[in-house]
Structure 1
Amino acid sequence: MKRIKRLLIILVLLLVAGIGLVYLLSFYVERSTREKVYSSIEALPDAHTVIILGASVHSDGKLSPVLQDRVDTGLRIYKKGKAKRFLLSGDNREKDYDEVSAMRSYLLLRNVPPSHISTDPAGLNTYESMKRSSTEFDIPSAIVVTQAFHLPRTLFISNNLGLNYAGYPADAQKYRTETSLVYREKLANFKALYELFIRKSHKKQLKGNSLTLICKK
């Protein structure tokens, strides 16, 4: 009986420590990116591109409320002259699911010239979208548009990739699933750490090993 009680105490302590770590990391990510988040379009620095991150699209191609708010917000920034063009970054892994084409069509219907729109169908997640904006599209300066609960992690990733991007929240309404999305974001901060500091260094190591093997040959 004493052993069971001791085990339960240990489990409770581990649970409390785990929750504390989640909130501590979330606090650090938010604090380290706070200065990059702007609350008014007028205060935003001028940038080359508005980057709009993808979100759910309905089967008929209609944007979900989360994604529509992002695109509408990006459009307001563009019309205010704060950026010259768009990069739409999202998921197009499946033939019948295409976030970037849905966003592009939405902007074209609102008289944005096609030449002002670039699309990245390989922006499968936040890390890939931020990394590819630099490696594939060579964007010198950008304003990233997504919801406020998603901005800290997005800017934390871009900062640690050496990208000096600003962020603007697309919060036009309260979302039905917002509470679960907020908690998901807190956990996703650990994924960001893995992508930035573990996976990236592992790739560098593999690349270095490959070069060594080539030289030996």
Structure 2
Amino acid sequence: MQAAAWKAFRVVLMSSGALVLLAALLFLAGNAWVLTQTQGRIERTLSQCGPEQVGIVFGTSHWTRSGVRNPHFDARMGAASKLIRLGRVRHLLLSGDNRTRFYNEPVTMWRELRERYVRDEDMTLDYAGFSTFDTLVRARDVFGVERAVLVTQAWHLPRALFIADALGLEAVGCAARTARVDGQWRLQAREWAARVATLGDLYLWGREPYFLGPFEPLEIAPPVWELPYGRERE
């Protein structure tokens, strides 16, 4: 009796181990697929990004949980304002989370970019960019974007570009350079998991955006080549 129980236990243990190994292999393969499909379209020098009509800026919190300014937010705003100033993009789609009246990523980005001398007419706010997927679906279906520069951190760009490809958007990535910060490994680990989840969203369970709304194509204003530089923060 004990021998039979031990044999059954060994079978269960081996099966569990095989499943864990299979899951690990699928996890690594999913990440490798996303990375190999997108790495060649990520530019790390702002002056080489674009040129394109539209830059999509992905929202993030202005502050960290510890109560200090979020360096990832600052890097995205710095990159977006410089792309406008250099003429590498003509219009910014600021897409972020606005689930409650107490938290509004698009308006925070808009205020910050105004301080960096980006004109109001060069910005459109998307209040329903609750996720990377939602931002890109809405860019295509609500704002009529067909081609864009995606502005975010380098570790986020592979997933964003992969989603854009699946949606039929012609996109390139522009990496907002951020100094390494404490706990960044947690962000990157979550991003590895998010890439695998994205494959499920796109190819298994047919994810839909949280909210779409009416068609509102972007209005791109004529460029102005001379902007004040005085107080702009790099």
User: Could you state the TM-score of these two structures normalised by the residue count of structure 2?
Assistant: 0.79
Q: 2:226 matched to which residue of 1?
A: none
Question: CA separation of 1:2/1:26 partners in 2, compared to 1, >3 Å: closer, same or farther?
Answer: same
Query: Which of 14, 39, 43 is the aligned partner of 1:38?
Result: 43
- CA distance in 2: counterparts of 1:143 and 1:133, whole angstroms: 12
Name the residue aligned to 1:212: none
Residue identity in the other structure for 2:199 = L
Counterparts in 2 of 1:29-178, with a 5 A limit?
29-58=34-63, 64-178=70-184
Residue 2 (structure 1) aligns with: 7
Cα shift at 1:23: 1.0
Q: Deviations over 1:167-200 (max 9, x none)?
A: 0111321132321221211221232223323444
* Structure 2 match to 1:214: none
Aligned length: 202
Deviations 1:111-153 (A, max 9, x none): 1111111010100000110111111111242110111111101
- 2:19 is aligned, of 14, 17, 30, to 14
Residue 29 of structure 1 aligns to a residue in which SS?
Answer: helix
Cα RMSD for the two superposed structures = 2.2
| Distance in 2, Cα, partners of 1:202 & 1:184 | 21
Q: Which moved more, 1:127-136 or 1:35-44?
A: 35-44
In 1, Cα distance between equivalents of 2:28 and 2:97: 29
Residues 63 and 93 of structure 1: CA distance in aligned 2, closer, same or farther (over 3 Å): farther
- Relative to 1, partners in 2 of residues 1:117 and 1:63: Cα closer, same or farther, differing over 3 Å? farther
Q: C-alpha separation between the residues in 2 aligned to 1:172 and 1:32?
A: 24
Partner secondary structure for residue 90 of structure 2 = strand
Indicate the percent of aligned positions where both proteins have the same amino acid. Answer: 27
**Structure 1: 5+ residue runs without aligned partners?**
204-217
- Give the Cα separation in 2 of the matches to 1:136 and 1:167: 21
Structure 2 segments unaligned to the other structure (5+ residues): 1-5, 210-234
Structure 1 length as normaliser, TM-score? 0.85
C-alpha separation in 2, matches of 1:145 and 1:202:
23
Name whichever structure is richer in helix by fraction.
1
Q: Distance in 2 between matches of 1:79 and 1:150?
A: 24
Matched residue SS, 2:45: coil
Paired with 1:186 and 1:193, the residues of 2 have a C-alpha distance of: 12
Aligned to 1:191: 197
Is 86-95 or 36-45 further displaced after alignment?
36-45
User: 1:42 is matched by which residue type in structure 2?
Assistant: S
| CA distance, structure 2, for counterparts of residue 96 and residue 70 of structure 1 | 22
2-structure distance, mates of 1:57, 1:202:
27
Runs of at least 4 residues off by over 3 Å: 198-203
